[in-house]
Amino acid sequence: MALSPERTVVELRELQELTGDENGSQRVAWTDTWERSRAWLREKMAPTGATEEIDQAGNQWFTLPGESDRALLIGGHMDSVPNGGRLDGCLNVLAGMEVVRRLAEEGTPPLTVRLVSWADEEGARFGRSLFGSSAAAGSMGDQDELRERRDADGIALPDALAEHGVDLDRALEARPQLENAVAYLELHIEQGPVLESLDLPLGVVLGTFGVERHLVTFRGQAAHAGSTPMDQRRDALAGAAKLELEIREIAKRIGGGAVCTIGGVVTKPGIVTSVVETAECLLDQRHLDANQLAEMLSNAEAASRRIAAEETIEVEWEKIWSIEPIPFDERLIELADESIVEIAGTSHRLPSGPLHDAAEVARAGIPTVMVFVQSLRGLSHTKLEDTKDEHLELSVRSLDRLTTKALDAFA
Ligand SMILES: [Zn+2]
């Protein structure tokens, strides 16, 4: 059975028929529709002879034994957000399935090949993303908090998981699944506009962005909008406005894909008759390089102090959340680049803004790489999410080529 990327295109439509509706894909993790997609995958995989196993975190594994126990992993996720797109996560799994079919037909691969569909990548129901991959990677450390989480209907997370055979307290027992892994490959839709704007079907992902999230509060003095002359105001909103314009310059100056966003500003007292006393800004900064990210942060802090002095107001910073950049494996990046050039003529290297299961696997120390395929209009997490059929086929071919190269390189 030769590789048939056309079949992947057909199967993506079949899966959408089975688990989607007029509003989009409905494969939310820990629901019956998600289970239906897993049963469908099980049936589709059966002819390959790969052995199925569901681990303690709910991850679904298919193992094709090789000449060695050392394993090459290909991953994705069948779960979607509610009213989600038809490709996010499942393209990876279905393309991986096509590669496993080809390998099974050809005989025994030099390394064991394992296809994994991670459980609850999206965190759509309980607000906890990368559930299965973080358990297998051993980085899940928030079980106490997860025990308290409830969905919109008030159902507790441990109860929902139990219905699908997963005991939250034992989820970390999925850890041995990565023990023999020598490399991890993940294909994904880009979910952004970069490849489309370059008119390229495919790109290799350098890693996932580090993120610094802070609450920046400017404090001035509330004063009457009618009686306070313009040159005697201590206007906190002026600080927020200046900082918003400044972070765009900081991102431009640092470059290398840097992005800075003030995603929200809350002003108090927030009435038309008063100068703003406090302006709370939600600042998000991202970069693939840890030093550049640190520089962006210190530049923004310095700018906020300068602005505060100019406006005779005060400024205060509070950290909300941060994560370090997670770079992918140099050797696999080269192999992915070669594969894309061979399949599509031109490759492009780009960072990933969103986190993916691949980031958890990479954090666990396993050489990892991702390939992105162009997303039309850069849209994702909506039923409008789409990719041209010809590009989907190229993406399956590039994953297949990369698998062959990785089997060679890591055997
Ligand atoms: Zn995804």
pLDDT tens, residue order, the chain (411 aa)? 689 999 999 999 999 999 999 999 999 999 999 999 999 999 999 999 999 999 999 999 999 999 999 999 999 999 999 999 999 999 999 999 999 999 999 999 999 999 999 999 999 999 889 999 999 999 998 899 999 999 999 999 999 999 999 999 999 999 999 999 999 999 999 999 999 999 999 999 999 999 999 999 999 999 999 999 999 999 999 999 999 999 999 999 999 999 999 999 999 999 999 999 999 999 999 999 999 999 999 999 999 999 999 999 999 999 988 889 999 999 999 999 999 999 999 999 999 988 899 999 999 999 999 999 999 999 999 999 999 999 999 999 999 999 999 999 999
Distance 103 CA to ligand 1 centre (A): 25
CA of 67 to the centre of ligand 1 (A): 31
Alpha helices in 108-175 (DSSP H): 131-137, 143-148, 157-162
Distance (angstroms) between ligand 1 centre and the Cα of 356 equals 6
Question: Does residue 255 come out as left (phi exceeding 0), alpha (psi in the -120 to 50 range) or beta?
Answer: left
Cβ < 5 A residues, ion ligand 1: 88-89
Residue among 297, 296, 307, 311 nearest 243 (CA) = 307
Element (H, E) at 293: helix 290-310
CA of 216 relative to ligand 1 center, distance in Å? 31
Ligand 1 center from residue 379 Cα (angstroms): 13
Which residues does residue 279 pair with via DSSP β-bridges, in sequence order? 218, 267
End-to-end, the C-alpha distance of the chain in Å comes to: 23
Q: Token pair for residue 319?
A: 């950290």
Q: Report yes or no: 308 and 199 within 8 Å, Cβ to Cβ.
A: no
Judge contact between 356 and 192, C-beta under 8 A.
Answer: no
State the chain's maximal CA–CA distance in angstroms.
85
The reported pTM is 0.89
Measure 77 CA to ligand 1 centroid, in angstroms: 7
Say whether 352 sits in a helix, a strand or coil: strand
Q: Which residue has the tokens 């999925």?
A: 174
Q: Check residue 152 and report its DSSP letter.
A: T
123 CA from centroid of ligand 1 (Å): 11
d(CA 147, CA 150): 8
